[in-house]
């Protein structure tokens, strides 16, 4: 089978790789991929800004049908519609694994970076990572469970109270899912984008944002001040992965507000730590997912409180991988999803 892969270390070095089709080993199963989402992490791997173990097929956002099960697999059978956590190999004994935080395991190997991933016709995954898709959630929407679970984990890492004024910077796929997760928790969400984000900001309103603001066109400070009785935002989720977005989010927070960094920058950025001190801002990082965030993400999809299907702007064959990466870099569309068919 052919897969879109990081072929070797270095900037770029991505192309189609011929790899053998996987067979289900004990405790594992094979998913025939229906949809694999292109993530910012894949682009960071392209630019050699995120660790990978080439040659390795990219892609960790996946949904499809089970086509082969290994010895000892009991929760899934052929024909099931499933999605999968990215964690393929964990040590299972470190302090983080034992505490239910596999995202911090030093021996972690994930599909799409450490082992072959979802940008191919088939992907091998361990049974412990697999989740059945809820009734009514198709495999296209289900392929975005992983980034949704990342947003749920971000919320788990901080506190959003009903009617909190919450700023989300960056109306990409992560930002639009983060917005919906915060709305489900009862927060008022103000989505902030740039002049290139007009269509994304309109989509944010469709999906439930209370207000959208554009840097350079709107008086953002005044709008947040008015909504918060002059205090500033209670919480900021920075989802753009851009230094300017991080600075904007920090400036909009009230004293003793909560700042959560969701987006990955891929490089160091300049940030005004003086404001963190003066405002006594609580700064929280968030990375990847834990099991509880997957359970909650699937419950949100099942209930309809979060919709991922409307985020998919492009469905592309693997042969168009270069176009997909170019579209991502140009910030065209919202979510680009590969299909091997």
Q: Which domains does the chain have, with CATH numbers?
A: 2-149+289-339 (3.90.180.10), 158-285 (3.40.50.720)
pLDDT 10s digits, 12-31: 999 999 999 999 999 999 99
pLDDT 10s digits, 41-64: 999 999 999 999 999 999 999 999
pTM recorded for the entire structure: 0.96
Block residue for tokens 């968030």: 286
pLDDT 10s digits, 61-72: 999 999 999 999
Say yes or no to pLDDT of 201 above 80.
yes
Block residue for tokens 């495999």: 139
Bridge partner list, 33: 64
Distance CA 14, CA 28 (A): 27
311: DSSP letter = G
Say yes or no to pLDDT of 3 above 80.
yes
- Cα separations (Å) of 195 from 49, 166, 172, 211, 218? 27, 21, 13, 16, 10
Burial (Cβ within 10 Å: 0-12, 13-18, ≥19) of residue 58:
buried
Start-to-end CA span in the chain (Å): 12
Distance CA 13, CA 55 (A): 10
pLDDT 10s digits, 138-160: 999 999 999 999 999 999 999 99
pLDDT 10s digits, 111-128: 999 999 999 999 999 999
CB 189 within 8 A of CB 179: yes
pLDDT for residue 321? 97
Name the token pair of 325: 């990466």
Q: Which residues fall within 8 angstroms of residue 259, CB to CB, at 6 or more apart? A: 235, 236, 238, 249, 250, 253, 276, 281, 282, 283, 284
**HSE-up of residue 70 (Cα within 13 Å, Cβ side):** 15
Starting from the edge strand earliest in sequence, which strands make up the sheet with 188-193, in order? 211-214, 188-193, 165-169, 233-238, 253-261, 282-285
Say yes or no to pLDDT of 186 above 90.
yes
pLDDT 10s digits, 210-248: 999 999 999 999 999 999 999 999 999 999 999 999 999
Distance CA 189, CA 324 (A): 30
Distance CA 102, CA 190 (A): 32
**Average pLDDT value over all residues in the chain:** 97
User: How much of the chain exceeds pLDDT 90, in percent?
Assistant: 98
Give the residue among 126, 134, 119 at the shortest CA–CA distance from 81.
134
pLDDT for residue 266? 86
CB 147 within 8 A of CB 87: no
pLDDT 10s digits, 247-305: 999 999 999 999 999 999 988 999 999 999 999 999 999 999 999 999 999 999 999 99
CB 310 within 8 A of CB 303: no
The beta strands (E) that lie in the chain are given as 2-6, 14-18, 28-37, 56-57, 61-69, 81-84, 87-89, 109-110, 122-126, 130-132, 165-169, 188-193, 211-214, 233-238, 253-261, 282-285, 312-317, 335-339
Burial (Cβ within 10 Å: 0-12, 13-18, ≥19) of residue 270:
exposed
DSSP 117-129: -SSSSEEEEEGGG
Q: For the chain, what percentages of helix, strand and coil (3-state, to nearest 5) are there?
A: 30, 30, 40
Q: Which residues fall within 8 angstroms of residue 219, CB to CB, at 6 or more apart? A: none
The strand pair at 130-132 and 81-84 is best described as antiparallel
């Amino acid at each position: 089978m052919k897969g879109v892969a990081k072929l070797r270390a270095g900037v770029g070095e991505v192309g189609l790789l011929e790899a053998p089709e996987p067979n289900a080993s004990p405790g594992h199963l094979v998913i025939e991929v229906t949809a694999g989402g292109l993530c910012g992490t894949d682009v960071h791997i392209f630019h050699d800004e995120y660790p990978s173990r080439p040659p390795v097929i990219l892609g960790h956002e996946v949904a499809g049908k089970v086509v082969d099960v290994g010895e000892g697999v009991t929760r899934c059978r052929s024909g099931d519609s499933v999605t999968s956590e990215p964690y393929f190999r964990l040590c299972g004994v470190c302090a983080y694994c034992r505490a239910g935080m596999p995202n911090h395991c030093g021996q972690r190997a994930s599909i799409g970076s450490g082992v072959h991933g979802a940008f191919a016709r088939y992907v091998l995954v361990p049974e412990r990572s697999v989740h059945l898709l809820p009734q009514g959630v198709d495999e296209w929407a289900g392929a975005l469970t992983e980034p949704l679970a990342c947003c749920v984990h971000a919320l788990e890492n901080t506190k959003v109270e009903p009617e909190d004024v919450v700023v989300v910077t960056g109306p990409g796929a992560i930002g639009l899912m983060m917005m919906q997760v915060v709305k489900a928790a009862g927060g008022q969400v103000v989505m902030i984008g740039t002049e290139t984000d007009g269509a994304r900001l309109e989509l944010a309103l469709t999906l439930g944002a209370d207000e959208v603001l554009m840097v350079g066109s709107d008086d953002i400070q005044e709008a947040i001040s008015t909504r918060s009785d002059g205090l500033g935002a209670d919480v900021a989720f920075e989802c753009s992965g851009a230094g300017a977005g991080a600075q904007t989010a920090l400036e909009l927070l009230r004293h003793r507000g909560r700042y959560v960094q969701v987006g990955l920058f891929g490089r160091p950025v300049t940030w005004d730590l003086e404001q963190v001190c003066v405002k006594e801002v609580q700064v929280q990082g968030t990375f990847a997912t834990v099991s509880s965030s997957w359970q909650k993400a699937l419950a949100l999809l099942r209930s309809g409180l979060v919709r991922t299907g409307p985020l998919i702007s492009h469905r592309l064959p693997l042969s168009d991988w270069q176009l997909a990466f170019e579209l991502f870099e140009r910030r065209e569309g919202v979510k680009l999803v590969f299909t091997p068919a």
